[in-house]
């Protein structure tokens, strides 16, 4: 469903005008102007009242606030189309946990965008003949590691270059990879993938190991002690791992996992012009391949819709 369908009438025209311009977020606050967020800044829109926000919540929840209440305790919920809605306002807490949401005063609607083939140039270094090398994607927040991870899942799950499709099981604790709505992935993650949505990573990895006989388990933003324990268990059982981690946690994670468990490291960063560089290293941190993607960068990544891999740069 188009995100425009969820907006009040007073916002529709300006939101429609901004959609083709790379709109990333719509921030709505009671008593203030709407903010339309882009990579290069923001634009102000109409003023929003508390009743406008109530109207939006009705639209976004399908007029069933209780249906989204369990997700609201985490501070966000996902709607049809994969759009994610963050909330702020008055919360009820008990024992250090959110038990109720009494008043919502702010919404942050993150527009779902899926970028395909961004992972394709690195596939020869991630896949082996029958499976994958255990791979960890590392970057700072906002650099695109979830986008890269999602595309890896899609490619592996569909198969590529004559290699068979792999059964990929995904633990999507924050609904950012598959963006499930009613349990169904709204993002394209391939034909041979299964998702545990809104499930803690350590619990989900162990569940999928027992329930889905996966070739690969994919998980975003590893880091906690329980995550590492579960990851080590999977590696010991011969399950292949595709994961991501914030750059600040990478060295700590590497020290705690089993020796030589991670065989490929993908680092993502970008320059001031928004050009992203993807570099892949082996387990000894030897550079295998590096390429760039972005405005004014290596156009081959966008152009190779029919082909496979670009040349090294």
Sign for the CA dihedral angle at 149, 304, 191, 239 comes to: negative
Q: What integer pLDDT is reported at residue 309 of this predicted model?
A: 38
Co-location of 149 and 88 in the same domain: no
Quote the CA–CA distance of 85 and 70 in Å, as a whole number. Answer: 14
CATH code at position 171:
3.40.50.300
What secondary structure letter does DSSP report for 129?
S
Within a domain: residue 131? yes
Q: Which residues of the chain carry a pLDDT beneath 70?
A: 1, 248-250, 252, 274, 294-313
Co-location of 82 and 103 in the same domain: yes
Closest by Cα among 81, 109, 140 to 15 = 109
Q: What integer pLDDT is reported at residue 96 of this predicted model?
A: 76
Co-location of 154 and 83 in the same domain: no
Co-location of 127 and 268 in the same domain: yes
Phi, psi of 147 (to 5 degrees): -60, -45
Co-location of 161 and 263 in the same domain: yes
Alpha-carbon distances of 272 from 137, 141, 168, 296, rounded to whole Å: 21, 15, 35, 12
Within a domain: residue 160? yes
Quote the CA–CA distance of 47 and 41 in Å, as a whole number. Answer: 19
Q: What integer pLDDT is reported at residue 248 of this predicted model?
A: 64
pTM: 0.79
CATH code at position 21:
3.30.450.90
Query: How many independent structural domains does the chain possess?
Result: 2
Co-location of 106 and 126 in the same domain: no
Dihedral Cα 86, 87, 92, 97, nearest 10 deg = 20
All residues at 6 or more sequence positions from 311 whose CB lies less than 8 Å from its CB, including other chains: 300
Within a domain: residue 115? no
Out of 58, 90, 110, pick the residue that ends a domain: 110
Alpha-carbon distances of 76 from 40, 121, 147, rounded to whole Å: 25, 33, 19
Co-location of 71 and 125 in the same domain: no
Q: What integer pLDDT is reported at residue 187 of this predicted model?
A: 93
Q: Is 220 helix (H, G, I), strand (E, B) or coil?
A: coil
Co-location of 125 and 231 in the same domain: yes
Q: What integer pLDDT is reported at residue 192 of this predicted model?
A: 97
Domain span holding position 190: 120-303
All residues at 6 or more sequence positions from 64 whose CB lies less than 8 Å from its CB, including other chains: none
Out of 71, 86, 110, pick the residue that ends a domain: 110
Co-location of 191 and 270 in the same domain: yes
Q: Is 147 helix (H, G, I), strand (E, B) or coil?
A: helix
Co-location of 31 and 90 in the same domain: yes
Within a domain: residue 310? no
Q: What integer pLDDT is reported at residue 203 of this predicted model?
A: 96
């Amino acid at each position: 469903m188009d995100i425009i369908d969820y907006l009040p009438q007073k916002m529709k025209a300006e939101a429609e005008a901004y959609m083709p311009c790379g709109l990333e977020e719509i921030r709505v606050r009671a008593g203030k102007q709407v903010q339309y967020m882009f990579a290069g800044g923001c634009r102000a829109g109409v003023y929003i009242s508390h009743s406008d926000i109530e109207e939006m919540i009705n639209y976004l929840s399908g007029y069933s606030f209780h249906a989204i209440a369990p997700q609201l305790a985490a501070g966000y919920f996902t709607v049809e189309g994969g759009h994610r809605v963050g909330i702020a306002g008055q919360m009820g807490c008990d024992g250090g946990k959110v038990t109720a949401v009494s008043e919502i005063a702010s919404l942050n609607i993150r527009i779902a965008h899926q970028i395909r083939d961004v992972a394709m140039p690195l596939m020869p270094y991630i896949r082996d003949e029958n499976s994958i090398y255990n791979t960890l994607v590392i970057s700072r927040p906002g650099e695109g590691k979830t986008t890269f991870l999602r595309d890896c899942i899609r490619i592996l799950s569909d198969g590529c270059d004559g290699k068979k499709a792999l059964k990929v099981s995904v633990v999507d604790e924050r609904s950012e990879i598959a963006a499930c709505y009613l349990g169904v992935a709204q993002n394209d993650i391939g034909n041979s993938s299964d998702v545990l949505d809104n499930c803690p990573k350590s619990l989900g990895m162990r569940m999928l190991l027992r329930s889905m006989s996966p070739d690969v388990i994919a998980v975003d933003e590893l880091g906690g002690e329980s995550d590492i324990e579960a990851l080590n268990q999977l590696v010991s059982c011969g399950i292949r791992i595709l994961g991501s981690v914030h750059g600040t946690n990478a060295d700590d994670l590497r020290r705690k996992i089993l020796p030589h468990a991670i065989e490929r490291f993908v680092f993502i960063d970008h320059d001031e012009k928004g050009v992203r560089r993807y570099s892949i290293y082996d387990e000894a941190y030897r550079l295998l391949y590096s390429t760039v993607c972005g405005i004014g960068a290596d156009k081959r990544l966008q152009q190779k819709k029919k082909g496979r891999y670009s040349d090294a740069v």
